[in-house]
Amino acid sequence: MSKERFDIHQHLTDRIVAAIEAGAGQWQMPWHRGSGGRHPVNIASGNKYRGVNVLGLWVEAQVNSYGSHLWGTFRQWQAAGATVRKGQKASYVVFYKEIEVDADDECENDSKRRLFARATPVFNADQVDGFGAPAVETPVEGVGTADAFIARTGATIVHGGSRACFIPSLDEIRMPERTAFTGSATSTATEAYYATVLHELTHWTAPSHRCNRDLSGRFGTEAYAMEELVAELGAAFLCAELGISVEPRPDHAQYLAHWLNVLKADKRAIFTAASKAAEACAYLTG
């Protein structure tokens, strides 16, 4: 495929859809498997990837069984003294560049700025030779820090009952007691509790006086399902920040068909959901 015809939006959407379909039978999403619990980091800058790039790299790590959370371009690995092995297939991240373009022919002196997506090929540390001890390590906070993080948000959380939810009219989060949560093969009961709180906290950011996230204009009748996807991604991003395993939510089985329909019909839908989730995380960590 020529570089000019490469569609990064369609490419990442197709990869994510395929990964979701592969795990749907277990109610698992790509961030529940593989290295989804660790935040992808760039080898050169030490910066964490953000938004849809986090999800895209989690998918690639899961599909290809990469165990490392370190990524870099061909040249970045060279600069680190490593060599990408011959025949290794690149994964892609997307960056947006703002450029100035002519507004129209009638207003020759006018211009406006547009965002253009640029696809960049990257390779995982498992694809290179000559790479020694990790130059970049992501600190893991763990559940001990989660209580302090949740308290700093200022959200009202009321414990009791059997259902976790955010009630907009009361502006409060309802949570079952911690003892109601159970562990699994991939996470402890405590981690399951915190993953659920972080999910509901993402919902808590939606009102107009916080992130003003109204998806009805973008997704119409699928807005509720897409808000659930935003909350699912938000919880996954926050769990990665705090070093907490994300527990699959069986109640999301009802949303899978909606998510897949929207993503297949709109190649930019997952980018919007990931961007909104990243915005919610930034608000909560702000």
Question: Is residue 203 domain-resident?
Answer: yes
Question: Is residue 134 domain-resident?
Answer: no
One domain for residues 114 and 147: no
One domain for residues 164 and 279: yes
Instruction: Check: CB of residue 223 under 8 Å from CB of residue 188.
Output: no
State the sign of the Cα–Cα–Cα–Cα dihedral 266, 267, 270, 275.
Answer: negative
Output the pTM of the full model: 0.87
235-265 tens-digit pLDDT: 999 998 888 877 667 677 788 889 999 999 9
Query: How many domains does the chain divide into?
Result: 2
The parent domain of residue 269 ranges over 143-285
107-129 tens-digit pLDDT: 555 556 777 888 999 999 999 99
**What band does 1 get if pLDDT is binned at 50, 70 and 90?**
very low
151-201 tens-digit pLDDT: 999 999 999 999 999 999 999 999 999 999 988 777 788 888 999 999 999
The phi, psi pair for 157, rounded to 5°, reads -120, 120
One domain for residues 18 and 120: yes
Q: Please tell me the predicted confidence (pLDDT) of residue 102.
A: 63
Q: Please tell me the predicted confidence (pLDDT) of residue 2.
A: 46
Q: What is the CA radius of gyration of the chain?
A: 20
The first and second tokens of residue 89, run together, are 């297939």
Domain edge (last residue) among 129, 155, 176: 129
Q: Please tell me the predicted confidence (pLDDT) of residue 28.
A: 65
